[in-house]
Chain A
């Protein structure tokens, strides 16, 4: 009998790993369980931030293994992994709670250096990024240039072999630790706003650079405002051509949106929610895992994670057959961040009265006092507050929706 129409149209879809990929998964898992320091893992589990030194040390561990930069080309010290291997690595990292290397050098400025930097710039900056010898921060947003980034005003005026830079940048995550900042600066006021922007690397230790911490709702100075007052920057710190910075930055933003779905971390947090729910009394002699409303919320979260994971896998599959990452990465950003925020709500709900104490110091390294509330309960609201940033930064979710609207739906 001839194949029926259904059979003839069947597509051979599979999401299975090959034997080699499974072996790789075991290798990654073994490495992480042996090499991701136990005390870091304990801190991550306790919702205590890793210090700069710890983050640097962890990246150096990855560096020594040759795994610091899965997304870099091999010639610069990347791993040469397939898309699937990168996915496996990111998944295992997320599941164990190991942080990815701080993205500002690794995922943000490095791709721009590789694509548009001079050979001298690549030699000068890339090795120290890979080995985490130099800490970078991002200088994009300004007080009056947020979602409308192209309206930025910080100026760089050429003066002999230097630029003189004036203005300010804001929301600089971990700027207080940074040795260098990569900035978008205005070098021409006479043209369309996107066409007068340049990409400039500035040494944070230069004269005229000052920094003010911005405390967020969780009481932590995670971000900063950075001021530039007649800062002299050597012109050879310019990336590529003058006034082409906007084009370069757009490339960078696509990289910023890879691995943003946070599915592995989501799975890890879902496990934590289930564990905490089982340990949390419902007040009526049972536990919150037996509370049907809460159980349904956990189920909905898990289902959403599964859907998101498969959006990501489909994107990945397209990448592995050579397609460029498209505006679909905006879906990962929107859904990933909103789902993470949903999970923050569930942690708060589980904590109930224990979410109320505002005790950020209890979740700082070296806290010696008598903790209030069980486990991480008293940090649940702090995390909920802090993670409101997820739908705001990296191109707000409104901007992501604009991208899909224009680039995907053609509206």
Chain B
């Protein structure tokens, strides 16, 4: 048994830590969020130069190896800094769908562009009535000869307003919640019939609601086999689920650290509030939650990198997201409570972390959803 990181992994981690330390403090993040695109293109190009955009891709696809452990190392650091750049939607979701479903030609055309920082993607899967069920798809795709017509409304499309290509999950056949009949299509964001309503999420990342009205694409814009995308979609979302779980684990650890620091300097009743046992034990519980969260995320990543069967992998992912969701609630609420009023202000980073992890708790399914999925698998 060996839980130590490889030399490459340590270097990757240090590379992210250095960038965050140098170029991503709270004020900088606020400026980036207030900018027109809501993320920094300059940072994005730097990520490409540093090789970070290759991490999600296999060596066969020209990437760094597609290791889930590599991915969570990065996400953990991103979480601590509340990074808003669209790493997950473009490389993990969009890139993941190209890797899993793309033809040789599609991969060759798009994956190098993603890794070079020249292509922003968004994955449009969720719908008004789908909740977290990936096979609940009401958006339709109708084939007429060489073209396909897409109609439907997608919600919570991360990076939807900055992506030049949208990967749209649509139904070619079957009833609304059938697993069969679901395909993924590449749609240009500026195609006629696509309307994008952009907004910022509570975690500071850009998102959008996207409607498709008689949007025409070519049959050749389908990724993978006709109606056969659900398995790949689940695998890709599972990987993204581990990524956001790691992001949350990092953010929670930062919240714990900030709370402990604050309790040492905030004086009431003539002493630092951190000297009160009632608060000490609660901070200990936060620490325990952080450790459990971190551990179960690592477990999930190691399972994804192993030769286990798909069911075991999926169970490990749901276990992680379920448990991290609980940790999010306990740690983040206590962090605000122990900070008191100051923790509720827009000026303090801890409050923004609270908002970030609240969003992450819902992303790709909350605790209840993943507990039920774990039990059912």
| CB nearest neighbor in B for A285 | B177
Q: Contacts A349-B366, A352-B131, A388-B333 known; A146 to B202 CB distance under 8 Å? A: no
Interchain nearest-CB distance for B318 vs A (Å)? 14
Looking at the complex, which one of B267, B341, B346, B362 makes contact with A392 (CB distance below 8 Å)? B341
Say if the beta carbon of B149 comes within 8 Å of chain A: no
Q: Contacts A285-B176, A352-B131, A392-B340 known; A216 to B346 CB distance under 8 Å? A: yes
Give 1 or 0 for each of A137-156: 1 = CB within 8 Å of chain B CB. 00001001011100100000
> Are A358 and B199 neighbours in the complex by a CB distance under 8 Å?
yes
- A262–B2 CA distance with the chains assembled, in angstroms: 53
| CB nearest neighbor in A for B352 | A217
Looking at the complex, which one of B132, B340, B362, B368 makes contact with A147 (CB distance below 8 Å)? B340
Residues in B whose Cβ lies below 8 Å from that of A284: 133, 136, 177
> Are B337 and A358 neighbours in the complex by a CB distance under 8 Å?
no
Considering only residues 360-378 of chain A, those with a C-beta below 8 Å from chain B are 370, 372-374
Say if the beta carbon of B126 comes within 8 Å of chain A: yes
Considering only residues 176-220 of chain B, those with a C-beta below 8 Å from chain A are 176-177, 197, 199-203, 207, 209
Looking at the complex, which one of A217, A283, A381 makes contact with B133 (CB distance below 8 Å)? A283
Residues in B whose Cβ lies below 8 Å from that of A214: 345-347
Say if the beta carbon of B66 comes within 8 Å of chain A: no
- A282–B279 CA distance with the chains assembled, in angstroms: 39
Say if the beta carbon of A73 comes within 8 Å of chain B: no
> Are A385 and B354 neighbours in the complex by a CB distance under 8 Å?
yes
Looking at the complex, which one of A144, A216, A294, A401 makes contact with B345 (CB distance below 8 Å)? A216
Considering only residues 140-155 of chain B, those with a C-beta below 8 Å from chain A are 155
> Are A356 and B156 neighbours in the complex by a CB distance under 8 Å?
yes
- A372–B199 CA distance with the chains assembled, in angstroms: 9
Say if the beta carbon of B104 comes within 8 Å of chain A: no
Q: Which of A215, A219, A358 has the most CB of B within 10 A?
A: A358
| CB nearest neighbor in B for A372 | B209
Residues in A whose Cβ lies below 8 Å from that of B270: 148, 151
| CB nearest neighbor in B for A217 | B351
Residues in A whose Cβ lies below 8 Å from that of B279: 398
Interchain nearest-CB distance for B224 vs A (Å)? 23
> Are A357 and B201 neighbours in the complex by a CB distance under 8 Å?
yes
| CB nearest neighbor in B for A357 | B199
Residues in B whose Cβ lies below 8 Å from that of A280: 131
- A353–B130 CA distance with the chains assembled, in angstroms: 10
Say if the beta carbon of A354 comes within 8 Å of chain B: yes
Say if the beta carbon of B7 comes within 8 Å of chain A: no
> Are B368 and A355 neighbours in the complex by a CB distance under 8 Å?
no
Say if the beta carbon of B28 comes within 8 Å of chain A: no
Residues in A whose Cβ lies below 8 Å from that of B268: 146-148, 151
> Are A391 and B337 neighbours in the complex by a CB distance under 8 Å?
yes
- A284–B132 CA distance with the chains assembled, in angstroms: 9
Say if the beta carbon of A389 comes within 8 Å of chain B: yes
Say if the beta carbon of A100 comes within 8 Å of chain B: no
Say if the beta carbon of B355 comes within 8 Å of chain A: yes
> Are B207 and A388 neighbours in the complex by a CB distance under 8 Å?
no
- A217–B371 CA distance with the chains assembled, in angstroms: 29
> Are B131 and A282 neighbours in the complex by a CB distance under 8 Å?
yes
Say if the beta carbon of A228 comes within 8 Å of chain B: no
- A398–B128 CA distance with the chains assembled, in angstroms: 41
Give 1 or 0 for each of B116-140: 1 = CB within 8 Å of chain A CB. 0000000000101111110010000
Looking at the complex, which one of B200, B341, B359 makes contact with A393 (CB distance below 8 Å)? B341
Considering only residues 330-373 of chain B, those with a C-beta below 8 Å from chain A are 333, 336-337, 340-341, 343-347, 351-352, 354-355, 358-359, 362-363, 366, 368, 371-372
Residues in B whose Cβ lies below 8 Å from that of A141: 341
Interchain nearest-CB distance for A280 vs B (Å)? 8
> Are B354 and A359 neighbours in the complex by a CB distance under 8 Å?
no
Looking at the complex, which one of A348, A357, A398 makes contact with B358 (CB distance below 8 Å)? A348
Say if the beta carbon of A384 comes within 8 Å of chain B: yes
The number of inter-chain residue pairs (CB within 8 angstroms) is: 141
> Are B341 and A171 neighbours in the complex by a CB distance under 8 Å?
yes
Q: Contacts A215-B346, A388-B336 known; A146 to B341 CB distance under 8 Å? A: yes
Interchain nearest-CB distance for A371 vs B (Å)? 10
Say if the beta carbon of A8 comes within 8 Å of chain B: no
> Are B209 and A356 neighbours in the complex by a CB distance under 8 Å?
no
- A279–B133 CA distance with the chains assembled, in angstroms: 17
| CB nearest neighbor in A for B267 | A144
> Are B355 and A385 neighbours in the complex by a CB distance under 8 Å?
yes
> Are A392 and B202 neighbours in the complex by a CB distance under 8 Å?
no
Say if the beta carbon of A396 comes within 8 Å of chain B: yes
Say if the beta carbon of A345 comes within 8 Å of chain B: yes
| CB nearest neighbor in B for A389 | B344
- A141–B340 CA distance with the chains assembled, in angstroms: 12
| CB nearest neighbor in B for A384 | B358
Say if the beta carbon of B278 comes within 8 Å of chain A: yes
> Are A358 and B368 neighbours in the complex by a CB distance under 8 Å?
no
Interchain nearest-CB distance for A20 vs B (Å)? 44
> Are B199 and A353 neighbours in the complex by a CB distance under 8 Å?
no
Considering only residues 91-132 of chain B, those with a C-beta below 8 Å from chain A are 126, 128-132
Looking at the complex, which one of B136, B207, B278, B329 makes contact with A345 (CB distance below 8 Å)? B329
> Are B132 and A217 neighbours in the complex by a CB distance under 8 Å?
no
> Are B201 and A146 neighbours in the complex by a CB distance under 8 Å?
no
Residues in A whose Cβ lies below 8 Å from that of B207: 356-357
- A280–B368 CA distance with the chains assembled, in angstroms: 15
- A385–B354 CA distance with the chains assembled, in angstroms: 8
Say if the beta carbon of A242 comes within 8 Å of chain B: no
Q: Which of B197, B333, B344, B352 has the most CB of A within 10 A?
A: B344
Residues in A whose Cβ lies below 8 Å from that of B156: 353-354, 356
| CB nearest neighbor in A for B128 | A374
Say if the beta carbon of B3 comes within 8 Å of chain A: no
Considering only residues 379-411 of chain A, those with a C-beta below 8 Å from chain B are 381, 384-385, 388-389, 391-393, 396-398, 401
Say if the beta carbon of A281 comes within 8 Å of chain B: yes
> Are B362 and A355 neighbours in the complex by a CB distance under 8 Å?
yes
| CB nearest neighbor in B for A291 | B368
Residues in B whose Cβ lies below 8 Å from that of A147: 268-269, 340
Say if the beta carbon of A261 comes within 8 Å of chain B: no
Q: Contacts A352-B362, A353-B155, A356-B202 known; A283 to B329 CB distance under 8 Å? A: no
Residues in B whose Cβ lies below 8 Å from that of A190: none
> Are A219 and B136 neighbours in the complex by a CB distance under 8 Å?
no
> Are B341 and A398 neighbours in the complex by a CB distance under 8 Å?
no
Say if the beta carbon of A170 comes within 8 Å of chain B: yes
Q: Which 4 A-B pairs have the closest CB atoms?
A: A283-B131, A283-B133, A148-B268, A353-B156
Q: What are 8 A-B interface contacts by the 8 Å CB criterion?
A: A214-B345, A217-B345, A217-B354, A281-B128, A283-B136, A349-B368, A357-B202, A397-B337
| Given A284-B177, A388-B333, 18 extra CB contacts under 8 A | A146-B341, A214-B346, A216-B346, A217-B351, A293-B368, A348-B358, A353-B155, A355-B359, A355-B362, A358-B202, A372-B197, A372-B199, A372-B209, A385-B351, A388-B336, A388-B343, A392-B344, A396-B337
